[in-house]
């Protein structure tokens, strides 16, 4: 659907090229000397950091019949931050050796220390540095320690709300090995796409190393566990088992097919899913193929407003795009929404609805150009297409022609795609290569 105005090349996520307020190296160095009297338990052999828990609200909740509570095993009262990793939910906390970091407070035997932004703490061999957090939330904390000849760095960003701009600035160029990001909005409600947008902002300033481990925090029983796991996987993130190492022992590759075709009937959630696929990208170009919103069609204007609100401010937009030219141009990922409005516009230009002489040849030439460019795409592209072939054959000639053109285009694009998804009720089914 057509979004707000913009142009390709608008700033990516992050701070629009602003210089970082503080380098991560300086942050870690400050932490080393900040509190020599703080807790200093030596961590046991192995990774010094473990995810003690990632739930904002542990479950199952007594008396709740939701799918998450009904399918979750009961929590063990004897589990500890350093016990064998388990999948049962526990309150959000990070184990640093035998100390525990939760809600900005470091607790160790005989010591409790509350971190505030700008402060640092040495816990065993791990240096902690506190960065500004969202309003009303704990500070974001960076942990750093030596690992052979290298320094490993992890961001623990617990609490609802967006990452503070100052924290993003401080992390510019950090190349973090792992990130634990909260997926709750400012009001505390779980909004998984917020995690993806935080990841996009950090990637835009080179704060995330290739293959970095990304863990979700702030989980609640409101989130269907299977649906959440699928969405996180799209962004290269995961739900960490209690007691698991951070970062994980092996990197998590992010699947990035060059060409993805997303199909579905009206109001199936196909556009939202297509946006989800690119939500963690630091820069996206949105190709709006439909008509501009206006007072003549209030329903269309409302739909456009909903689509605009879902997208982050750093996505660029191009109205009435030349699709073959965009596909042939290297650049950030491209989201085309939708093929149906593009076909309708192409048929309008050829006066197909009036059965003008030569309209079919003109439309077929335009379709051929898009298919050729799609096959040789020079950028990652996700295209949304309406599924219009499940009803009866339309009696009206123009409508039947539209269905024929759109259906043929979809088949040809599917044949040239690495990934084809069918969306129904907001759920995606991946269609294999078998015809």
Which whole-number Å values give the CA distances from 303 to 53, 156, 312, 388, 399, in the listed order?
39, 37, 17, 19, 22
With left for phi above 0 and alpha for psi between -120 and 50, is residue 253 left, alpha or beta? beta
Pairing of strands 419-424, 427-430: antiparallel
Confidence at residue 46, expressed as pLDDT on a 0 to 100 scale: 58
With left for phi above 0 and alpha for psi between -120 and 50, is residue 188 left, alpha or beta? left
| Low-confidence residues of the chain: pLDDT under 70 | 1-12, 14-46, 74-88, 251-252, 254-255, 292-296, 300, 435
Confidence at residue 37, expressed as pLDDT on a 0 to 100 scale: 43
Q: What share of the chain is helix, strand, coil (3-state, %, to 5)?
A: 30, 25, 45
Residues 6+ away with beta carbon under 8 Å from 371: 409, 412, 413, 416
- Adjacent-strand bridge partners of 382: 260, 335
Long-range CB contacts (within 8 A, 24+) of 207-211? 207/155, 207/168, 207/171, 207/172, 207/173, 207/174, 207/175, 207/176, 208/174, 208/175, 208/176, 208/179, 209/175, 209/176, 209/177, 210/251, 211/251, 211/252, 211/253
Count of H-run helices and E-run strands, the chain: 11, 20
Confidence at residue 252, expressed as pLDDT on a 0 to 100 scale: 66
* Half-sphere exposure (Cβ direction) of 97: Cα atoms closer than 13 Å: 22
Which residue among the candidates 43, 197, 221, 307 is catalytic per the annotation? 307
* SS3 label, residue 184: strand
In the chain, the largest separation of any two C-alpha atoms, in whole Å, equals 87
Confidence at residue 1, expressed as pLDDT on a 0 to 100 scale: 37
- Single out the residue of 115, 241, 233, 217 nearest to residue 156, CA to CA: 217
pTM: 0.88
Instruction: Examine the residue annotation and report whether 43 is marked as an active-site residue of this protein.
Output: no
Residue with tokens 């949105």: 286
- Concatenating the DSSP letter of every residue in 115-147 gives --TT-EEEETTEEEEEE--STTSPPEEEEEEEE
- Single out the residue of 377, 279, 286 nearest to residue 335, CA to CA: 286
Residue with tokens 């796991």: 229
Domains with residue ranges and CATH for the chain: 24-72+81-245 (3.60.15.10), 259-430 (3.40.50.300)
| Spatial distance between the Cα atoms of 275 and 256, rounded to a whole number of angstroms | 14
Confidence at residue 22, expressed as pLDDT on a 0 to 100 scale: 46
- Adjacent-strand bridge partners of 142: 129, 155
| Spatial distance between the Cα atoms of 169 and 343, rounded to a whole number of angstroms | 43
- What are the helix (H) ranges across 19-163? 24-34, 67-71
């Amino acid at each position: 659907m057509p979004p707000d105005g913009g142009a390709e090349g608008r700033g990516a996520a992050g701070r629009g090229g602003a210089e970082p307020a503080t380098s991560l190296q300086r942050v870690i160095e400050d932490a080393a000397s900040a509190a020599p009297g703080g807790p200093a338990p030596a961590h046991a052999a192995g990774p010094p950091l473990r995810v003690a828990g990632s739930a904002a609200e542990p479950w199952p909740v007594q008396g709740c019949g939701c799918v998450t509570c009904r399918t979750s095993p009961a929590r063990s009262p004897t589990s500890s931050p350093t016990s064998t990793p388990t999948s049962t939910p526990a309150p959000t906390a990070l184990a640093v050796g035998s100390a525990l970091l939760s809600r900005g407070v470091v607790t160790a035997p005989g010591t409790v220390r509350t971190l505030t932004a700008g402060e640092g703490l040495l816990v065993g061999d791990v240096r902690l540095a506190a960065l500004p957090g969202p309003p009303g939330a704990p500070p974001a904390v960076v942990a750093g320690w030596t690992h052979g000849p290298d320094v490993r760095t992890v961001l623990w960003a617990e609490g609802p709300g967006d990452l503070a701009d100052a924290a993003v600035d401080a992390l510019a160029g950090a190349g973090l090995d792992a990130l634990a990001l909260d997926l709750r909005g400012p009001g505390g409600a779980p909004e998984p796409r917020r995690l993806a947008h935080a990841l996009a902002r950090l990637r835009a300033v080179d704060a995330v190393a290739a293959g970095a481990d990304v863990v979700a925090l702030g989980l609640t029983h409101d989130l269907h566990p299977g649906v959440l796991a699928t969405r996180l996987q799209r962004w290269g993130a995961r739900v960490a088992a209690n007691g698991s190492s951070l970062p994980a022992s092996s990197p998590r590759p992010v699947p990035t097919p060059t060409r993805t075709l997303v199909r579905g009937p009206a109001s199936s959630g196909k556009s939202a899913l297509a946006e989800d696929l690119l939500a963690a990208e630091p820069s996206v170009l949105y190709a709006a193929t439909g008509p501009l919103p206006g007072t003549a069609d209030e329903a269309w204007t409302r739909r456009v407003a909903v689509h605009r609100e879902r997208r982050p401010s750093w996505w660029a937009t191009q109205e009435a795009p030349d699709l073959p030219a965009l596909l042939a141009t290297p650049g950030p990922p491209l989201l085309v929404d939708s093929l149906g409005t593009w076909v309708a516009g192409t048929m309008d230009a050829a006066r197909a609805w009036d059965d003008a002489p030569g309209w079919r040849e003109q439309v077929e030439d335009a379709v051929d150009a898009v298919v050729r460019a799609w096959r040789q795409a020079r950028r990652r592209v996700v295209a949304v297409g309406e599924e219009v072939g499940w009803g009866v054959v339309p009696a009206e000639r123009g409508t039947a022609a539209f269905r024929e053109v759109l259906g043929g285009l979809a088949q040809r694009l599917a044949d040239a795609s690495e990934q084809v998804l069918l969306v129904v009720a907001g759920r995606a089914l991946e269609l294999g290569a078998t015809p």
